[in-house]
């Protein structure tokens, strides 16, 4: 009974309002919910976590620059004042598309409109056994685990008795030269060269080696080639070793092996080489692309089920301009807003235009005063790109309060090179 | 090899300097290390965690008010500029007092002076099986676990189908009426009544019941009786149910049973009823009191081993005034400073005076504008006590940066009733 009670609002006696169920409160799902403010619908947001995560800054949690709570906001708080929204902390296990019901661990939730916005996770392309040796970065749990691994490597190096062991502990390998890999490689280098440089007695943290391995022939493949080159130069100036055109063929506790037969001994390998969409295509029994993304129509619905929208990193979308929409936060937000408008349009018996992605540009950060920005005709590198990146990320960070806290942290870090969140917690703790 | 290298400083060729090994970087151990700044000794600080924890504010992490990194600072950072100190992240397993060596998981570390400052953990007095059902609060891991339990209880109540189940989920039991129990009970009540009051749709978070159970006949037994009464009144005004004179005879997943035969159904029981010192007495093979504390001499050393000091919550100390020194942070800090002076005195072939505890008063906080302060002749309650508590804790919080961040968080929380760190992470995550 709860399922219907939640959907229809069990305190009201009016005729039933349309029930919108949104699975996932990332950028896509959250913006659908926000876009339905004051709409005459009952919205249920289901997420297996209680917080919305600002993923673009997750690498800063993984490298001890920010605390988890600075980039994560309770979903309930964001939606508290929007009275047509109910938030459920549940793990979705399946969708009964014929019966129009979402099946979670503990209940079923009926819908009239369904929005699937369950994102993506890092993927090992047939080598799931690499995950233990080379964790990826998608959740707060991933980030604190990576933080613990990086900091623990320095701790172990400090007491290592053999030079070979010490070198291995002070070698960090980041696999994948996309934005996350570039950010991680830059941030680990700055951590070693600046934040913790004075803290050890038996090792020189500055001597840590950070290797960024990319199978393709350039970094940041979605950027113009000139910016890829600039990113590479900025990373190398920082001290990162960049190895292009070499695929990783093995990840293990001793390090990685590359396709050219070379090996890099390392006790800390991080995976940023690819993502796989959530299981939504399996739930719905619909076709997916190679990355597991549901292939959706121009209005973001799926074939035969006009009431089911799939958005964000879970969807493969060719927009009205005929281009594939990239898997970035602004695209997910725009899709979320679009779906809210589409649902309102249907209730008014009109049809929305097909989804059109407004591309305001592409940013990637490398380190202090180092970044690249592709704004179409305008391309920036170095300090101007970094200032743009910083202000854009502060601006979009959810929650006024978090914006202030992160801003102050960044000013502090810029002035002192300090890192505020150098805690080894998690598995190692208790 | 490393053991002696670490102790004697393997880069130097001068005659060996005395090796001081400090186990534990809480208030006691950290202050010993700081007190040996510029002393002609080699100091090794060993801790199984990489951070110094400001335990007096740990309850605010457990109740989503502060983030872990705001009250935890890397030990290395605190001691980075003190060049005679080496920090080891290791778990100590034993002490070879005859051989003057500390045995850790991976190595042995030789000493000339040993300082044991390993603190205490919560204890269940023969009922360790209660720990799963009723976690205690001593580490960051404990705090994030308790935070997840409290927040998850509200989440489950929101979707509970039976009124009885909902009542159980919205009942929180805190066992133990000392400062930690009083702080937790007050903070959970404020969380429910203010921070998350607007966030749910099917429950009224304000209706949550918080029960504080104490076996003795008053709260805060170390305070004067008038302040105990005041604390009780302030808690009750906030909405906490206080049950005195009733011991808990069972903790389980359904709640607690009391000695008078009554039962409180609850899905979230927290333990603040007692602590047990670390295993130092066993390592040393020396007599301990009922709480496991090593009985030390007036100069904080143990019988037959004048080179071994035991301080802080691990020590049972009758000071030069003939009173037992309480297990509070200021006492641990004073003992730490005293031991540093004692080691310096010995190196100068003099003897220090016996340890004397300077009691500047006793503070306990209850909630917003609610606290008690015992300053000897002056006793404060309510707002004045709370202002004193707030400024004292800010003042003593290690690290200038954390002071600013916590100060801003508190001002924000005071103005908005908001809580910044409402994240369910840990076991439930990933």
What ipTM was assigned to the predicted interfaces of this complex?
Answer: 0.86
Judge whether A49 is closer than 8 Å to chain B, CB to CB: yes
Tell me the pLDDT tens digit for each residue of A113-137: 999 999 999 899 889 999 999 999 9
If pLDDT is split at 50, 70 and 90, which confidence band does A93 have? very high
Candidate from A69, A144, A161 with C-beta closest to B421: A69
- In this prediction, residue B400 carries a pLDDT of 66
Inform me whether the C-beta atom of residue B105 falls under 8 Å from chain A C-beta atoms.
Answer: no
Beta partners for residue A315, in sequence order: A294
CB neighbour burial string for A61-87, b if at least 16 within 10 angstroms, e if fewer: bbbbbbbbbbbbbbbbbbbbebebbbb
What average pLDDT score do residues A86-101 get? 96
Specify the pLDDT at position A189. 96
- Region A18-47: mean pLDDT is 97
CA separation for the pair A325, A17 (Å, rounded): 33
- What pLDDT is recorded for position B430? 33
SS3 category, A211: strand
CA distance B122 to chain A (A): 12
- Look at A74-83, A206-215, B211-220, B236-245 and tell me which has the smallest mean pLDDT: A74-83
Taking only residues 357 to 386 of chain A, the set having a beta carbon closer than 8 angstroms to any beta carbon of chain B reads: none
Q: What is the pTM of this model?
A: 0.89
Q: What confidence score (pLDDT) does residue B7 get? A: 44
CA distances from B67 to A111, A312, A394, B75 (A): 37, 30, 20, 18
Model confidence pLDDT, tens digit, residues A150-168? 999 999 999 999 999 999 9
Domain A2-48+90-122+276-347, classified CATH 3.40.50.300, yes or no: no
Q: What is the pLDDT of residue B411?
A: 79
- Confidence at residue A5, expressed as pLDDT on a 0 to 100 scale: 43
pLDDT over 90 for what percent of chain A? 77
Q: Do B418 and A429 touch (CB under 8 A)?
A: no
CA distance B151 to chain A (A): 9
User: What is the maximum span of chain B, computed from C-alpha positions, in angstroms?
Assistant: 75
User: What is the band of A420 on the pLDDT scale with cuts at 50, 70, 90?
Assistant: low
Within 10 Å of residue A197's Cβ, how many Cβ atoms? 16
Of the candidates B159, B199, B425, the beta carbon closest to that of A80 is on: B199
Q: Which residues on A lie below 8 Å from B405 (Cβ)?
A: 405, 408-409, 420
Q: Flag if B1 and A67 touch (Cβ within 8 Å).
A: no
pLDDT digits (tens, 9 = 90+) for B210-245: 999 999 999 999 999 999 999 999 999 999 999 999
Tokens 């936060």, residue located: A329
Task: Using a CB–CB cutoff of 8 Å, tell me whether A155 touches chain B.
Answer: yes
A2-48+90-122+276-347 and A128-273+361-416 in the same fold: yes
With CA atoms as reference, the chain A residue closest to B424 would be A50
Tokens 């920090």 belong to which residue? Answer: B87
8 A C-beta contact, residue B392 and residue B382: no
Establish if A202 touches chain B: CB-CB under 8 angstroms: yes
**Which member of B74, B161, B199 has the closest CB to residue A76?**
B199
Residue of chain B with shortest Cα separation from A138: B430
Helix (H, G, I), strand (E, B) or coil at B201: coil
Confidence category of residue A9, pLDDT binned at 50, 70, 90: very low
Catalytic residue positions of B?
A: 183
| Contact status of B411 with chain A (Cβ, < 8 Å) | no
Tens of pLDDT, residues A397-415: 877 667 777 787 777 777 7
* Vertex A199 angle, CA A197 and A201, to 5°: 105
pLDDT of A1 > 60? The answer is no
Question: Smallest Cβ distance to B2: which of A6, A159, A401?
Answer: A159
pLDDT confidence tier of residue A61, bands split at 50, 70 and 90? very high
pLDDT of residue B429: 41
Query: Is A181 in contact with A242 (CB distance < 8 Å)?
Result: no
Tell if the CB–CB gap between B425 and A141 is shorter than 8 Å.
yes
Q: Is the pLDDT of residue A213 over 90?
A: yes
Residue B338 corresponds to which tokens in the numbers above? Answer: 């005293």
Q: What percent of chain B has pLDDT over 90?
A: 77
Domain segments of chain A as ranges: 2-48+90-122+276-347, 128-273+361-416
Mean pLDDT of chain A: 90
Residue numbers of chain B with a pLDDT score lower than 70: 1-14, 400-401, 418, 420, 426-430
For residues A50 and B279, what is the distance between their CA atoms, to the nearest angstrom?
Answer: 38
* Euclidean distance between CA atoms B304 and B122, whole angstroms: 30
- Is residue B105 within 8 A of residue B1, CB to CB? The reply is no
pLDDT of A400? 66
Per CATH, the number for B128-273 is: 3.50.50.100
In this predicted model, what pLDDT tens digit does every residue of A275-321 receive, in sequence order?
Answer: 899 999 999 999 999 999 999 999 999 999 999 999 999 999 998 77
Class level of CATH domain A128-273+361-416: alpha beta
């Amino acid at each position: 009974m709860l399922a219907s009670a939640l959907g229809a609002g069990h305190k009201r006696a009016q005729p039933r309002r349309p029930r919108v169920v949104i699975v996932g409160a990332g950028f896509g799902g959250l913006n659908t919910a926000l876009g339905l403010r004051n709409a005459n619908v009952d919205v249920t947001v289901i997420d297996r976590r209680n917080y919305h995560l600002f993923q673009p800054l997750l690498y800063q949690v993984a490298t001890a620059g920010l605390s988890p709570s600075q980039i994560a906001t309770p979903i309930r708080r964001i939606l508290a004042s929007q009275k047509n929204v109910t938030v459920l902390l549940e793990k979705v296990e399946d969708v009964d598309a014929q019966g129009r019901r979402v099946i979670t661990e503990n209940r079923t939730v009926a819908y009239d409109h369904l929005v699937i916005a369950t994102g993506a996770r890092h993927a090992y392309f047939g080598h799931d056994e690499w995950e233990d040796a080379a964790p990826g970065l998608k959740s707060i749990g991933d980030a604190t685990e990576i933080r613990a691994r990086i900091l623990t490597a320095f701790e172990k190096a400090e007491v290592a008795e053999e030079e070979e062991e010490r070198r291995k502990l002070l070698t960090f390998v980041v696999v994948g030269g996309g934005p996350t890999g570039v950010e991680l490689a830059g941030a680990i280098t700055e951590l070693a060269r600046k934040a913790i440089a004075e803290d050890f007695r038996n090792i020189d943290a500055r001597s840590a080696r950070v290797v960024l391995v990319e199978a393709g022939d350039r970094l940041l493949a979605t950027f113009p080639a000139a910016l890829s080159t600039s990113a590479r130069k900025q990373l190398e100036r920082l001290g990162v070793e960049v190895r292009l055109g070499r695929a990783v063929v093995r990840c293990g506790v001793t390090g990685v092996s590359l396709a050219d037969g070379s090996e890099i001994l390392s006790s800390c390998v991080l995976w940023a080489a690819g993502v796989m969409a959530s299981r939504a295509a399996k739930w719905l029994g619909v076709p997916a692309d190679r990355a597991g993304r549901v292939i959706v129509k121009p209005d973001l619905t799926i074939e035969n089920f006009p009431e089911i929208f799939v958005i964000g990193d879970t969807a493969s979308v060719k927009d009205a301009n005929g281009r594939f929409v990239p898997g970035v936060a602004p695209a997910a937000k725009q899709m979320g807003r679009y779906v809210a408008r589409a649902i309102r349009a249907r209730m008014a018996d009109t049809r929305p235009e097909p989804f059109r992605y407004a591309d305001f540009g592409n940013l990637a950060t490398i380190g202090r005063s180092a970044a690249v920005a592709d704004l179409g005709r305008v391309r920036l590198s170095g300090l101007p790109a970094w200032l743009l990146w910083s202000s854009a990320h502060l601006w979009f960070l959810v929650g006024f309060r978090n914006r202030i806290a992160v801003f102050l942290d960044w000013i502090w870090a810029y002035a002192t090179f300090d890192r505020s969140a150098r805690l080894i917690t998690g598995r190692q703790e208790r």
